[in-house]
């Protein structure tokens, strides 16, 4: 089970203090920092190896490749998880504040121990632990909806993964940067 802590990590020359640090059993710390794109924007960073690694910014293509590997080995269970993400996408509302409680209170999939257990067999495939993937996905949905409530990139990537028809289109959708 994840451990949720009030922020204690710093980035950008120790100028940004995290709002929430989520320590996962797999050894990854996922931190939520204040962002700059909107008043309640959040910035996601993670580091591996129980805090000894450097912070990395998760990109859509990272989790897409991981879920593609999981899907290759267990298509039905991975597709079921993707459908759960689609459903959660519809329910996600923008943050009205970016404090600890506001962020923590939005997490429902990643704090559901039965759901995490249900998909834990997917840990055998890909690089990332399912606990990390689910936390990351919920926070990415929250980030995208907070910055632009009519956003759709996340949902498009999930739908492309579910269709499984066109690898080029999936990678193009996952790496689109709006330029």
Please list, in sequence order, all residues whose beta carbon lies within 8 angstroms of the beta carbon of residue 96, skipping any fewer than 6 positions away.
40, 102
The answer to whether the CB of 72 falls within 8 A of the CB of 137 is: no
Structure tokens at 116: 């995490």
**The whole model's pTM is what?**
0.89
Q: How far apart are CA 150 and CA 148, in angstroms?
A: 5
Residue 74 phi, psi (nearest 5): -145, 80
Note the pLDDT of residue 159.
Answer: 87
Please list, in sequence order, all residues whose beta carbon lies within 8 angstroms of the beta carbon of residue 78, skipping any fewer than 6 positions away.
67, 70, 71, 122
Give the mean pLDDT per block of 10 residues along the chain (179 residues): 82 82 92 91 88 80 92 95 93 92 91 93 95 95 86 82 78 66
Q: Tell me which residue range forms the domain holding 68.
A: 3-175
Q: What is the DSSP letter of 152?
A: -
Note the pLDDT of residue 119.
Answer: 97
Strands 16-17 and 42-47 come out as unpaired
**Number of structural domains, the chain?**
1
Q: Helix 60-73 to helix 75-91 angle, to the nearest 10 degrees?
A: 140
Note the pLDDT of residue 13.
Answer: 64
Note the pLDDT of residue 179.
Answer: 43
The maximal CA–CA distance of the chain, rounded, in angstroms, is 44
Note the pLDDT of residue 172.
Answer: 75
Burial status of residue 156 (CB atoms within 10 A of its CB: 0-12, 13-18, 19 or more)? middle
């Amino acid at each position: 089970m994840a451990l949720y802590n009030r922020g204690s990590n710093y980035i950008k020359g120790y100028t940004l203090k995290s709002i929430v640090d989520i320590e996962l059993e797999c050894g990854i710390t996922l931190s939520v920092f204040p962002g700059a794109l909107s008043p309640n924007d959040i910035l996601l960073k993670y580091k591996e190896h129980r805090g000894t690694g450097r912070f990395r910014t998760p990109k859509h293509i990272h989790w897409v490749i991981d879920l593609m590997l999981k899907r290759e080995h267990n298509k039905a269970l991975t597709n079921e998880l993707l459908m759960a993400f689609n459903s959660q996408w519809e329910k996600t509302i923008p943050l009205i504040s970016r404090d600890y409680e506001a962020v923590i209170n939005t997490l429902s999939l990643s704090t559901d121990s039965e759901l995490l257990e249900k998909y834990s067999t997917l840990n055998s495939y890909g690089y990332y632990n399912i606990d990390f993937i689910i936390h990351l996905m919920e926070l990415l949905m929250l980030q995208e909806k907070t910055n632009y409530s009519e956003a759709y990139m996340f949902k498009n990537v999930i739908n492309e993964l579910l269709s499984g028809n066109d690898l080029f289109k999936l990678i193009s959708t996952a790496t689109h940067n709006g330029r």
